[in-house]
Amino acid sequence: MKILICDPFDPSLPGKLARFGEVTDDPAQLAQADVALVRSKTVCTADWMAGAPNLKLIIRGGVGLDNVDRAAAKERGIEVRNTPEASSVAVAELAMALMIALPNQLIAGHNGMREGKFLKKELKRTELFQKTLGLWGVGRIGTEVARRAAAFGMTVLAYDPFVKSHECAKLVALDTLLAQADYISLHTPLTDDTRGMVNAASLAKMKKGVRIINTGRGKCIDEPALAAALASGHVAGYGTDVWYSDPPDPACPLLQAPNVIRLPHIGASTKENLLRIGVGVEALIGEFAGRKGR
Ligand code: NAD
């Protein structure tokens, strides 16, 4: 079996997979690969699959499968698997980090010090305590955020049409969440329903001064609409790990908008998570090899 590692994984992974066959990270070997390991960087289109006639299994290390054309894979008889449980804590901690950094002026304070400015009087902070957090999507990651936000003394609301009850978030209608939340954190997958869900219409329903956290997907945002809401002050802050494209187009209006904390899609990139993803990948390949008698 030839295993092609297309994107960055934990450095220990090739050694762990060697017992299943040849492991390579040489993209020129795509045509010979039986198994391809991707994260979010490689986009597995129908064309990409056409260049991999031997491929039988794509493993997406992590959660979202929006970079894999599953219909094209099905047509070619290629199995698609992922490791959905691994990343929840890593992403939830980053969402919390952004939610803490925005009202505490961490970036402005830090940058000021580097520029020789001691902004003690200028920088005003606000607390998360007794504020309302609205989780747009409350699956694995949203639930981990809910637990952490509750520990900060926040009231946690959630809108998720596919969840009927929740242990630590109060499920509400979307309009209620938009009207009541001081913070809105996005945790839906990218689907036809969630593409551009933060747009002029939904922004208009949010409280003035809302802060939005996005560790979900960049395409869930209508970027010009959000940039306009940041410029007007209707949205007081945006903390994001995700972009319309990776990396963002230099013309992306959120690169210049005020009160934005910008991260380069590192939600899943903790050392611990890469190890957990590696364990999941190894188990999936073991299962595949066992089934195929390889
Ligand atoms: P999950 O499937 O456990 O949870 C997603 C939730 O969204 C589900 O409960 C689902 O019912 C809900 N949902 C679906 N459509 C919805 C809609 N229209 N409105 C409201 N809720 C809706 O997934 P997860 O593990 O929590 O991951 C969520 C997303 O986080 C992933 O799909 C991925 O896009 C993103 N993610 C980002 C990073 C990163 O590096 N920043 C890493 C991992 C995952």
User: Strand, coil or helix: what is 82?
Assistant: strand
How confident is the model at residue 291, as a pLDDT? 87
How confident is the model at residue 161, as a pLDDT? 98
Q: Please, which residues bridge with residue 134 across strands?
A: 157, 184
The DSSP letter of residue 97 is H
The response to whether residue 280 sits with its C-beta less than 6 Å from ligand 1 reads no
Sheet (strand 2-5) strand order? 22-24, 2-5, 35-38, 57-60, 79-82
Give the separation between CA 214 and CA 226, rounded to whole angstroms. 12
What is the position in ligand 1's atom list of the atom closest to the CA of 137?
Answer: 21
The DSSP letter of residue 31 is G
Q: Which residues of 144-177 are buried (b: 16+ CB within 10 A; e: fewer)?
A: bbbebbeebebbbbbbbeeeeebeebebbeeeeb
- Per-residue model confidence as pLDDT tens digits over 101-137: 999 999 999 999 999 999 999 999 999 999 999 999 9
Compute CA distances 287 → 2, 24, 57, 227, 230, whole Å: 15, 20, 11, 46, 48
Kindly report the protein residue whose alpha carbon is nearest to atom 4 of ligand 1: 139
Residue 287 CB contacts under 8 Å (≥ 6 apart), including other chains: none
Kindly report the protein residue whose alpha carbon is nearest to atom 16 of ligand 1: 188
Give the separation between CA 277 and CA 61, rounded to whole angstroms. 6
Give the separation between CA 80 and CA 257, rounded to whole angstroms. 38
What is the position in ligand 1's atom list of the atom closest to the CA of 197?
Answer: 18
> In the chain, which residues have pLDDT < 50?
none
Give the separation between CA 37 and CA 27, rounded to whole angstroms. 11
Q: Are 25 and 46 in contact (CB under 8 A)?
A: no
pTM of the model: 0.94
How confident is the model at residue 294, as a pLDDT? 57
